[in-house]
Amino acid sequence: MGFFDSIKNFKHKIDQVESTVYTGKQSLLEVYEINAKLEAEIALRTRELDRANRQMLTLQHIWDMMNSSKPLSSVLNAIVNSLQGELGYLYSFIVKEKADNNGIYLQVVASSRDDLDTKFWENFKCNVSDFRMNFPDIPELRNAVKNNQIYQSVNLEDLVCGFVPQFDKKRVEEFLRNAKMRSYILVPLKSKQTHFGSLLVFSSRERVSESELNFLSLFAKQIELAITIADLFEAVKEQAITDGMTGLYNRRYFEEFIKKEVIRSNRQNQKFTVIGLDLDHLKQINDTYGHNYGDIAIKAIAEVLKNNARSIDVAARMGGEEFNILLPGVDSAGGCIAAERIRKAIESVELDKIGHITASLGVATYLEHTDDIEELLEITDRAMYESKRNGRNRVTIARPAYETSWQEIAVNTFLDILEKHRIPVDETTSKLLTKKLEGMNINNTKLYQVADSLISTYNPEHIEGSVKKKVELATLLAKRFELSKDAADKLKIAILLYDIGNTMLPREILRKKEPLTEEDKASIKQHPIIAAREILRPISNIVDVIPIIEKHHENWNGTGYPANLAGDDIPIESQIILIIDSYFALLEKRPYREAMSKSDAIALIEQDINKKWSEKLAQEFIAIVKNDLD
């Protein structure tokens, strides 16, 4: 092979190598380009996956809110904060359409927590939620709300100035620049097929992807469901604390609220006042016009209370024709002014057929009349019943509890029992006794006469004047056992009231001549419970007396009823009532036996020492009786 042939051959080999290198280079470039595309795709898919995860987390938060019983305001705030925290929006809030005497307007009802609030304050010296806003006059925006469609725009200045026209445009521009907002998205919200409001989110990006808008559309559906469920919880909660007839709060809510108010009052050393109110002559209205008109009168009272209450006042229907109004931060002088305003407003109401109605009111103030919540409600009731006793349609300021006599409490209790017909006393007797009670100037003799008359309505063999003797006996025993004045007063009231439960027993049992059956005995054993729960418990000013009455048939050896208590577990007041009741029952004639003599009755008392009563109580009692109390 010649030289030139060798050169050609070498060049050919070089060309082959170059061709191979070039081909390899092209392959490497292709691999690199493929890898770069794969990396970009992976990065994109990773970002999409991350965003999808955050979107799912946001939806999960909304789902969690839907399965809670949190109020609507908490649900809405959770929604806007999840958008900011998980999806990275700069700011979000929900506006809702509202109306008042000045027309329809928009108001922010939930906003995300962010330094944007600080920027807003720095620029405009106010909070975004303070504004009574207009709906921006932007046709595309209005159409989006009307058609329930998502709307996105970069025209932030028109939006903000449209919401609050009084804002200076230069300040708005500066605010938007500092806040780094580039666009906004409006998402209309519905609840129960009607427009609820709009969700507004603000982004640092001018463009929004189709997937983002699709997510917000899905998100809006979840929000709407969350709002519907929260509204349902609110409605159920409202029903639980609201009186169905009047729309006022019910007793349950009032009792819970006043406990919280006491805590606040003690912490701030600030008084509050309770007004007790009772519609006059409800039974007369019911009897004359029918119960429907009685309900109309009760509703009329409720409307007066709504119209005369401040936003912080709590008006509640406590049951029947009784109402309470709690006035935070008001002393007794202010409470009397408010009560008199309410009284006049009620008196001015004129109802169809019924005409004018009236109410009796009592006023008591926490930290002024008492610092005990139960006592506060008791003396409020007493003041209200004093208004009734003094002619109705008036306001009475309460006296401190220590100034109120046990006789007054007893009179008010009897009035409540008779006027509310808590026991089956005939109409004539009820009116007669009520008139006697209302006309009395707290006099023991008349009080005892009323009690005697009431007991005689169901027990013809009742000994006239025995109520007075029972109270005197109880007073002497209270001294022997060194009871406090408060405990002694409760004992006297209990003595007057303990036998009320017998009025609920069938007459045939009370007058039965043959031995009582087990069923009869069971009925009789229920009477202290009946008296306490059905007759006396609704009367708040004797709440401390009820346990005494409930336990006055418990025996010292544990064989009594209703709870089989024994020994010192039985309140001494209940023990005293039992021995006095038993003694006077022996002195009365019964269908199955004649009345016993005092000596025979004492002998039976002695036989039951350490059975029905303790030896000490029996000895003290017998010593008093033998001293000829008559």
For residue 443, the model assigns a pLDDT of: 46
Least confident of 65-69, 234-238, 351-355: 65-69
Contacts of residue 44, defined as CB under 8 A and 6 or more positions apart, other chains included, come to none
Of 605 and 5, the structure prediction assigns the larger pLDDT to: 605
Mean pLDDT check: name the lowest of 117-121, 181-185, 573-577.
Answer: 117-121
pLDDT at 321 over 80: yes
- What is the sign of the dihedral through the CA atoms of 311, 313, 314 and 320? negative
In angstroms, rounded to a whole number, what is the distance separating the alpha carbons of residues 588 and 513? 14
Q: What is the mean pLDDT of residues 457-470?
A: 67
Q: What is the pTM of this model?
A: 0.48
Task: Tell me if residue 444 falls in helix, strand or coil.
Answer: helix
* Across 343-353, average pLDDT: 94
Percent of the chain with pLDDT over 90: 23
Among 229, 357, 232, CA closest to 303: 357
Of the ranges 363-372, 375-384, 421-430, 558-567, which one carries the lowest mean pLDDT score? 421-430
pLDDT at 463: 63
Q: Going by DSSP bridges, is the β-strand pair 322-328/314-319 parallel, antiparallel, or unpaired?
A: antiparallel
Q: pLDDT higher for 81 or 185?
A: 185
Beta-bridge partner residues of 111 = 93
pLDDT at site 442 = 47
Mean pLDDT, residues 133-145 = 87
The Cα 229–Cα 244 span in angstroms is 22
Identify the residue whose tokens are 């009574």.
132
At 413-430, the pLDDT tens digits run: 666 666 666 655 556 656
Are β-strands 249-250 and 395-397 bridged in parallel, bridged antiparallel, or unpaired?
Answer: unpaired
Look at residue 583 and tell me whether its pLDDT is greater than 70.
yes
DSSP 8-state assignment for residue 386: H
Query: What's the CA angle centered on 202, arms 197 and 207, to 5 degrees?
Result: 115
Per-residue pLDDT tens over the stretch 293-316: 999 999 999 999 999 988 899 999
Q: What letter would DSSP give residue 21?
A: H
Q: What is the pLDDT of residues 174-211, one digit of tens each?
A: 888 887 888 888 888 877 777 778 888 888 888 877 77
More confident residue, 558 or 237: 558
Query: CB under 8 Å to 361, separation ≥6 — which residues?
Result: 275, 276, 277, 278, 339, 342, 343, 383, 384, 387, 394, 395, 396
pLDDT tens string 263-299:
999 998 999 999 999 999 988 899 899 999 999 999 9
Which range is least confidently modeled, 132-141, 311-320, 453-462?
A: 453-462
- What is the average pLDDT across 399-411? 67
Is 106 in contact with 133 (CB distance < 8 Å)?
yes
Q: How far apart are alpha carbons 492 and 451 in whole angstroms? A: 12
CA dist., res. 144 & res. 417, Å (int): 64
pLDDT at 36: 66
- Listed residue (294, 282, 227, 247) closest to 76, CA to CA: 227
Evaluate if residue 499 carries a pLDDT over 80. no
**How confident is the model at residue 411, as a pLDDT?**
66
Q: What's residue 434's pLDDT?
A: 62
Q: Residue 307: its pLDDT value, please?
A: 93
Can you read off the two tokens belonging to residue 131? Answer: 């504004």
Residue range 334-361: mean pLDDT, rounded = 95
Domains of the chain: 72-240 (3.30.450.40), 246-404 (3.30.70.270), 412-630 (1.10.3210.10)
CA dist 252 → 276, 319, 375, 384 (Å): 16, 11, 18, 21
> What pLDDT sits at residue 98?
82
Which 3-state string (H, E, C) describes 209-230?
CHHHHHHHHHHHHHHHHHHHHH
Residue 611 confidence (pLDDT)? 94
Above 60 in pLDDT, residue 496? yes
**pLDDT (tens digit per residue) in 12-55:** 666 665 666 556 656 666 656 666 666 666 566 555 555 555 54
Task: Identify which of 305-309, 379-383, 507-511 has the greatest average pLDDT.
Answer: 305-309
Closest of 424, 260, 370, 248 to residue 319, by C-alpha: 248
The two counts, helices (H) then strands (E), for the chain are 24, 13
